[in-house]
């Protein structure tokens, strides 16, 4: 019994002495060695910025392939500018629990042909919407040769994953006037991107007046439904006239920002995919 008491007493004494020695060493050590947090790389330090929280991270991915003539590109640009600054769009933003969205506008063509016209920005009111839209309106028009929806989807998801924002939802809004003809399988890419957690919505452009054009023969809206869009609540809204472009864009943006879904499928404005033959998605890949 007496031995146990002495052993415990000695142990306590040794621990006390070691504590004083450690404290002395710590106080005399250089400040950089003491502050382990400051010695860590900046990328390993967690920082929270409430200003980076948004309801939606939205990529507007816009086709500028050769089949889009100058007039169609101008109509497209004007449609986005009008929609982004509309009262309906701004009201939809206020519906969200945070009341802000992060948006970027990218033009795309063939593989690796991606042009960021307006980089990521937060839109929360008329002023921020107008500032973002002005970048789109003032940028010069471009035109490229090919149409790689697959590459545009991959780039869009990379932009979502690498930005500084944290959104409740991540949405890619991709518009185009033709099928994927470069960059591999569009359906495989779509499935990979959806698995990454994004929703892909489509805006098939079918504005050519001639009903015998390849767009009409291909049924581009069906192609987008079967081969391009995906994820929870995904939808496609075809644009069949230049006059209706701005309205289609505005409705699409409002639905995406507010998290709305299309009306009940009993409406005559909607067509059930099950009521037609499926599209061969790899026909042009």
Examine residue 88 and state whether it is found in any structural domain, yes or no: yes
Q: Do 65 and 135 belong to one domain?
A: yes
Q: Do 143 and 21 belong to one domain?
A: no
Q: Do 98 and 215 belong to one domain?
A: yes
DSSP string, 239-281: B--STTHHHHHHHHHHHHHHT--PPPTTSTT---GGGSPPP-G
Task: Answer whether residue 266 shows pLDDT above 70.
Answer: no
Taking CA atoms, 107 is separated from 69, 99, 265, 267, 279, in Å, by: 14, 26, 32, 34, 26
Examine residue 82 and state whether it is found in any structural domain, yes or no: yes
Q: Do 110 and 155 belong to one domain?
A: yes
Quote the pLDDT of residue 68. 84
Examine residue 281 and state whether it is found in any structural domain, yes or no: no
5-14, 72-81, 108-117, range with the lowest pLDDT: 5-14
Query: Average pLDDT of the chain?
Result: 81
Q: What are phi and psi of 100, to 5 degrees?
A: -145, 150
Examine residue 284 and state whether it is found in any structural domain, yes or no: no
Q: Do 61 and 24 belong to one domain?
A: no
Query: What are the tens digits of pLDDT across the range 146-167?
Result: 899 999 999 999 999 999 999 9
Task: Answer whether residue 228 shows pLDDT above 80.
Answer: yes
Examine residue 273 and state whether it is found in any structural domain, yes or no: no
Which position has the higher pLDDT, 255 or 41? 255
Residue 122: which CATH number?
A: 3.40.50.410
Quote the pLDDT of residue 260. 65
Parent domain of 32: 2-44
Q: Do 157 and 238 belong to one domain?
A: yes
User: Distance between CA atoms of 224 and 204, rounded to whole angstroms?
Assistant: 7
Task: Answer whether residue 86 shows pLDDT above 90.
Answer: yes
| Global pTM exceeds 0.85 | no
Beta strands in 44-188 (DSSP E): 53-63, 101-108, 114-123, 166-176
Task: Answer whether residue 211 shows pLDDT above 70.
Answer: no
Examine residue 76 and state whether it is found in any structural domain, yes or no: yes
Find residue 252's DSSP bridge partners: none
Examine residue 30 and state whether it is found in any structural domain, yes or no: yes
Examine residue 95 and state whether it is found in any structural domain, yes or no: yes
Q: Do 37 and 172 belong to one domain?
A: no
Query: What are the tens digits of pLDDT across the range 173-182?
Result: 999 988 998 9
């Amino acid at each position: 019994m007496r031995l146990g008491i002495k052993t415990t007493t000695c142990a306590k004494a040794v621990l006390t002495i070691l504590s004083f020695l450690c404290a002395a060493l710590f106080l005399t050590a250089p400040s950089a060695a003491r502050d382990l947090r400051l010695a860590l790389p900046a990328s390993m330090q967690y920082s929270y910025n409430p200003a980076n929280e948004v309801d939606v991270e939205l990529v507007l991915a816009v086709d500028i392939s050769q089949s889009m003539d100058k007039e169609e590109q101008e109509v497209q640009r004007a449609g986005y500018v009008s929609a982004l600054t509309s009262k309906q769009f701004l009201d939809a933003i206020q519906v969200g629990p945070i009341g802000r969205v992060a948006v970027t506008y990218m033009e795309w063509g063939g593989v690796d042909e991606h042009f960021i016209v307006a980089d990521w920005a937060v839109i929360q009111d008329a002023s921020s919407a107008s500032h973002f839209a002005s970048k789109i309106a003032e940028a010069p028009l471009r035109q490229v040769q090919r149409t790689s929806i697959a590459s545009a989807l991959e780039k869009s998801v990379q932009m979502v994953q690498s930005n500084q924002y944290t959104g409740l939802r991540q949405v890619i809004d991709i518009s185009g006037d033709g099928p994927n003809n470069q960059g591999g399988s569009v359906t495989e890419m779509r499935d990979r991107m959806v698995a990454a957690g994004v929703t892909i919505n489509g805006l098939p452009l079918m504005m050519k007046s001639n009903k015998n054009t390849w767009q009409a023969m291909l049924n581009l809206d069906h192609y987008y439904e079967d081969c391009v869009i995906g994820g929870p609540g995904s939808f496609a809204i075809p644009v069949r006239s230049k006059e209706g472009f701005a309205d289609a864009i505005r409705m699409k943006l409002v639905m995406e920002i507010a998290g709305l879904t299309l009306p009940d499928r009993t409406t005559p404005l909607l067509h059930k995919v099950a009521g037609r033959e499926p599209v061969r998605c790899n026909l042009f890949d």
